[in-house]
Structure 1
Amino acid sequence: MTTESSGSATLLHLRHLTTVRQDITALATGKRLVRVAGMNVLIIGGTGLISTGIVKHLQKRGADISMFNRGKRENTLDGPVGVFTGDRNDPAVLEQCVAGGRKWDVVIDMICFTPEQATGAIRTFAGKCEHFIFCSTVCTYGTKVPPGVVIDETFPQEPISGYGKNKVACENLFTAAHGRGDFACTIIRPSHTYGEGSPLIDQLEPDAIAWDRIARGQPVLCAGDGIGLWNSTHRDDVGKLFAFAALNSKTYGQSYNATTERVFTWRDYYREAADALGTTAQVLPMPAEWIIGHDPKRFGLLREITQFHGPYTSAKARRDVPEFDVEIDFRSGAQRTLADVKRRGAWRDSSADAMYQGMIDKAVALGVRPLDL
C-alpha cells in the first residue's frame, strides 16, 4: 500500500482496481429491495481479524469493496479491493472517501473507538451512504450479570472499562445520526472473536503462553474455579453478520450481539484448546485477585473482562439475518488458529517466563491441585 502526502493532509491514495460489476439481483424485503450483489461497500479498517471474515462473505455476495486504513498491515485478502490509505483521525483525509460527490451503499466502521472518531465519521458520511454499520462490543454491557441470565440486546449498558464506555458513547452518537436521517445505522456487538491471523487468548492474557506450556505438559492457571461462563466465536462466523446485515432493512436502527449460541465454561475452553493441540491440560485454579496482583497490566484482560461471566445470545441477529449461522465449533477453530500461530512464527515460548512459573510454584506450594476437566 502507498501513502502520499499533500500539504497537511496525509493523502490518501486510492488504488482503483477495475472489477467487472456483477449483475444486480434483489430480494424483496418490505417496501424496499436489498441488493445481494454489486453493493458498493467501504470498510474503515478492513485488514483486522473480524474484517477478514467480513470481506470473505461480502465477496461471496458480489460486493464491490474498498477499505480505508493506515496501510500498516499487509493486505492478504483474495480478489480485487480498492484501498484508501490514511489516518481516520484527520477529517480532511477521511473526507477523501466521499470526494467528488462519491456515495456508498454501505460503510462498515471497524476501528471507531472514541466519540471524536464517531463524530468525524458522521460528519463525513451523513447523506453520503445509505447504511452505516458500527462495530461495537459486548463490553458495553458491563459485568453485573445475575445468575441464570444470558445477555441479549436489552441488557443494561453499564461498562466498567474505558473501552466499553467509549463504545457506548459512540453508539449513542450513531443512534442519534440514525434518528436524524443522516443514514440508516446498525450496531453490532461481537464478544470474544478469534481466528487465523490472531493469537488465541486464554483467561489471563490476550497473547497467551498457556498454549506452549500445555503443549509441553506443564500446568497453567485459570481464575476462580473455572466455571465462569463464556462465548467464543470464529471470525468467519462473526463476519457473516456484518456482511449479510448490509442493506438488510430489518437491521436498520437495530443493535445485535454477534456470538455463537454456545455458552461454555473456562474448563471447557482449556480442555478443548488442549485437545486441539493433541494433549490434555493441567489447570490450577487461583483467585482472580491473586493472579492480577502479580501484574495488573499483563493480566488486564482478566482484570476487566474474563474474570466476569460473559454469556451472550444472538437470537435477535439470527432472526433478522438468517444467513448468520455459526458453523465453526470451538475445538476446530482453536486448532486452526493455533496452527496458524505456529505457521506465522508467532508462537510464544514459555520457557523464559520466570514470573508465570513462579506463580505456578506458589500455587503448588499452597496445595492447589489441577481441576478435573
Structure 2
Amino acid sequence: MSRILLLGAPGNISASTIDLLTEQHHSIFALTNFQGDLSDYQQKVTFFHGDRNEPNDLIYARDNSKAEIVIDYSCFMPEQAESAVKVFSQMVVQYIFVSTVDVYGYPLSQLPMPEDGKRNAPNCPYAANKAKCEEIFQRPGTEVLPLTIVRPAYSMGNRFLLTALSRDGGYTLIPRLRAGKPVFSPGDGTALIHAGNAYNTGRMIAQIAGDTRCIGEDFTLANDTVTSYDDYIKITADHLNAKPQFVHIPTDFVYESNLPGTEDILLNDLTRYNVYFDISKFRRFFPDFKWKKSLSESIREFIQYNEDNFKDVDTFSFEDQIIEKYLHEHH
C-alpha cells in the first residue's frame, strides 16, 4: 500500500481515482482549495487546505503526507511545474502529471493519434501551457522526478458535458433539447469526437499509480469507443425523449461571422477536424482494464445531477445568434 498525495481534488476526474485507490487500500491525501462540501470524502482522504501556487503549502502537504506518489491534477502553468519540480524531486517514487490530449495539436497529424505521433502547434493558451509544463517536467536534469505523463481526452462527469461551443455546454444543451429549440452542429455533423467518461479516466489514472513500469512513460487516456458529433447529441436527446433539431453550419461561417463570443468556442479543438486517439499503449500495459461506464451513462448522470442547475433558454445566446444569422443568409 502507498501514501498518495493528490494536488487538486476532488474534481471531475479525480473523484473516481480516489474511489479506486480507496478500494486498493492506499492512504490518500489531497492539497486542495475546494470550498464545497467534502463530507463524502472524509473517510477516504486527508485534506490539506492550501494553495498549490504557494511553495510552502506544497512542502507542508509533502511532509505531512509523507507521500510516495503524487498525482498532479492542478498544474496548468509553467511556473507551477517549476515549483513542483523543486518541491518533489528526490522525494517521491512516482510523479503523475495530468496533462491533456490538446497538446497534440489540431488537426491531429494522424488518426488515431498515438502518444509518439508528430505534434502540431497548440491552438489555445490552455494547450500551449500544458505543453510547456510537460517540457519542464521532462527537461534534462529532472530525472530525479520519476515522471509519468497522462493525457485525458474530454471526460464527461457530473459537472461537465461539452458542446462544440462550450466546455460547460451541457447546461444550455439540455434545456434547448427539452424546449425543442434548434441545436447548432458544425459542418455536416459527422466529425468524430473522442468523448468519454471521467469515471473511466480517473480509474485509468489510479491503475497507473504505483506501477513502476509507467515511470518514464506517457499515456493517452480516452474512452474505448468514438462517436460523431451528431450521434453524441442524439444520445443526449434520447435521455430526454427529445428529437434534436439540427442546424448544420460550416465552421468557417461561424468564425467569419465575428460575433461576440466567437473567441471562446471550441470548434478549432473539437469539431473542425476528426478527433480520435490511440489508446493501444494503455491497453498493452493494462490488458485487464475495463471501461465500466459508457458515454451514454455519463450523460444520463449529468442530467440527473444538474436538474436544478440548467440555464434559462429564453436568453438569446451565442448559439441562437449564429443559427439566426446562418438561416437568414442561406434561406
Which of 13, 38, 43 is the equivalent residue of 1:50? 13
State whether structure 2 residue 300 is matched by structure 1 residue 335.
yes
Name the CA distance, whole Å, in 2 between partners of 1:144 and 1:80: 41
Secondary structure of the equivalent of 1:338? Answer: helix
- In structure 1, the residue matched to 2:251 is 288
- In structure 2, the residue matched to 1:321 is 286
Which of 282, 300, 303 is the equivalent residue of 2:265? 300
Q: Which moved more, 1:53-62 or 1:166-175?
A: 166-175
What is the percent sequence identity of the aligned residues?
25
Letter in 1 for 2:73: M
| Pairwise CA distance, 1:183 | 3.0
Secondary structure of the equivalent of 2:266? Answer: helix
| Pairwise CA distance, 1:239 | 0.7
Name the CA distance, whole Å, in 1 between partners of 2:285 and 2:40: 28
Deviations 1:78-132 (A, max 9, x none): 42311111111111221112337x6312100001011110111111111211110
Letter in 1 for 2:14: S
- In structure 1, the residue matched to 2:168 is 207
Name the CA distance, whole Å, in 1 between partners of 2:243 and 2:146: 48
When residues 181 and 149 of structure 1 are mapped into structure 2, their CA distance, relative to the original with a 3 A threshold, is closer
- In structure 2, the residue matched to 1:273 is 236
Secondary structure of the equivalent of 1:43? Answer: strand
State whether structure 2 residue 165 is matched by structure 1 residue 189.
no
Name the CA distance, whole Å, in 1 between partners of 2:287 and 2:93: 21
When residues 277 and 76 of structure 1 are mapped into structure 2, their CA distance, relative to the original with a 3 A threshold, is farther
Equivalenced residues, count = 325
When residues 249 and 235 of structure 1 are mapped into structure 2, their CA distance, relative to the original with a 3 A threshold, is same
| Pairwise CA distance, 1:204 | 1.3
Which of 204, 222, 235 is the equivalent residue of 1:259? 222
User: Which gives a bigger RCO, structure 1 or 2 (Cα 8 Å, sep 6+)?
Assistant: 2
Q: Does structure 2 retain, via aligned residues, the 8 Å contact 1:200–1:334?
A: yes
| Pairwise CA distance, 1:211 | 2.0
Q: Does structure 2 retain, via aligned residues, the 8 Å contact 1:71–1:86?
A: no
Name the CA distance, whole Å, in 1 between partners of 2:285 and 2:57: 35
Letter in 2 for 1:182: V
Secondary structure of the equivalent of 2:188? Answer: coil
Q: Does structure 2 retain, via aligned residues, the 8 Å contact 1:277–1:335?
A: no
Name the CA distance, whole Å, in 2 between partners of 1:109 and 1:44: 5
Structure of higher CA gyration radius: 1
Q: Which moved more, 1:324-333 or 1:256-265?
A: 324-333
Secondary structure of the equivalent of 2:162? Answer: coil
Secondary structure of the equivalent of 2:148? Answer: strand
Letter in 2 for 1:265: S
State whether structure 2 residue 181 is matched by structure 1 residue 218.
yes
Letter in 2 for 1:226: G
| Pairwise CA distance, 1:77 | 3.5
When residues 103 and 322 of structure 1 are mapped into structure 2, their CA distance, relative to the original with a 3 A threshold, is farther
- In structure 2, the residue matched to 1:145 is 108
Letter in 1 for 2:106: T
Q: Does structure 1 retain, via aligned residues, the 8 Å contact 2:22–2:44?
A: no
Q: Does structure 1 retain, via aligned residues, the 8 Å contact 2:111–2:275?
A: no
Name the CA distance, whole Å, in 2 between partners of 1:353 and 1:174: 44
- In structure 2, the residue matched to 1:17 is none
Deviations 1:253-301 (A, max 9, x none): 0000000131211011111111122222111111223334323456432
Letter in 1 for 2:167: P
Q: Does structure 2 retain, via aligned residues, the 8 Å contact 1:200–1:338?
A: no
Deviations 1:238-263 (A, max 9, x none): 01111010111221100000001312
Letter in 2 for 1:74: D
Letter in 2 for 1:84: F
| Pairwise CA distance, 1:182 | 1.6
TM-score by length of 1: 0.81
- In structure 1, the residue matched to 2:126 is 163
Q: Does structure 2 retain, via aligned residues, the 8 Å contact 1:231–1:310?
A: yes
State whether structure 2 residue 99 is matched by structure 1 residue 175.
no
Which of 95, 98, 107 is the equivalent residue of 2:70? 107
Letter in 2 for 1:128: M
Letter in 2 for 1:151: M
Secondary structure of the equivalent of 2:93? Answer: strand
When residues 166 and 359 of structure 1 are mapped into structure 2, their CA distance, relative to the original with a 3 A threshold, is closer
Name the CA distance, whole Å, in 2 between partners of 1:350 and 1:246: 43
Name the CA distance, whole Å, in 1 between partners of 2:57 and 2:321: 49
Letter in 2 for 1:321: F
When residues 154 and 45 of structure 1 are mapped into structure 2, their CA distance, relative to the original with a 3 A threshold, is same
Q: Which consecutive unaligned segments of at least 5 residues does structure 2 have?
A: none
State whether structure 2 residue 44 is matched by structure 1 residue 80.
yes
Name the CA distance, whole Å, in 2 between partners of 1:112 and 1:323: 30
Q: Does structure 1 retain, via aligned residues, the 8 Å contact 2:229–2:271?
A: no
Name the CA distance, whole Å, in 2 between partners of 1:62 and 1:278: 42
Name the CA distance, whole Å, in 1 between partners of 2:87 and 2:136: 14
Q: Which consecutive unaligned segments of at least 5 residues does structure 1 have?
A: 1-37, 369-373
Secondary structure of the equivalent of 1:104? Answer: coil
| Pairwise CA distance, 1:226 | 0.9
Secondary structure of the equivalent of 1:49? Answer: coil
Deviations 1:308-328 (A, max 9, x none): 321112111121133543121
Letter in 1 for 2:312: D
